[in-house]
Amino acid sequence: MNGYADLLLLVVVVLDVYIVATSRLASCVRASALQGIALAPLPLALWWGSSSEQLLHLGLISVGALAIKGVVIPLLLFRAIRVANVRREVEPFVSLHLSVLIAAVLVGVSFWLATVLVLPKPAPSTLVVPVAFATLLLGFLVLVSRLKAITQVVGYVMLENGVFIFGQTMAREIPLAVELGILLDLLVGVFVMGIAIHHISREFDHIDTALLDSLKD
Under the banding of pLDDT at 50, 70 and 90, the label for residue 77 is confident
More confident residue, 137 or 69: 137
Helix, strand, coil: what percent of the chain each, to 5? 80, 0, 20
57-88 b/e with 16+ CB inside 10 Å = b? bbeebbebbbebbbebbbebbbebbeebebee
* High-pLDDT (> 70) share of the chain, %: 74
Tally the C-alpha atoms within 13 A of residue 169's C-alpha that lie toward its C-beta.
20
Residue 95 to residues 88, 101, 139, 142, 145, Cα–Cα distance (Å): 13, 10, 16, 11, 8
Cα radius of gyration rounded to whole Å, the chain: 18
DSSP structural state of residue 70: I
**pLDDT value, residue 204:** 45
More confident residue, 157 or 120: 157
Is pLDDT at 141 greater than 70 in this prediction?
A: yes
**pLDDT value, residue 165:** 87
More confident residue, 86 or 164: 164
Is pLDDT at 179 greater than 80 in this prediction?
A: no
Under the banding of pLDDT at 50, 70 and 90, the label for residue 82 is confident
The model's pTM is 0.79
**pLDDT value, residue 19:** 92
Lowest mean pLDDT, pick from 36-40, 92-96, 109-113: 92-96
Average pLDDT, the chain: 78
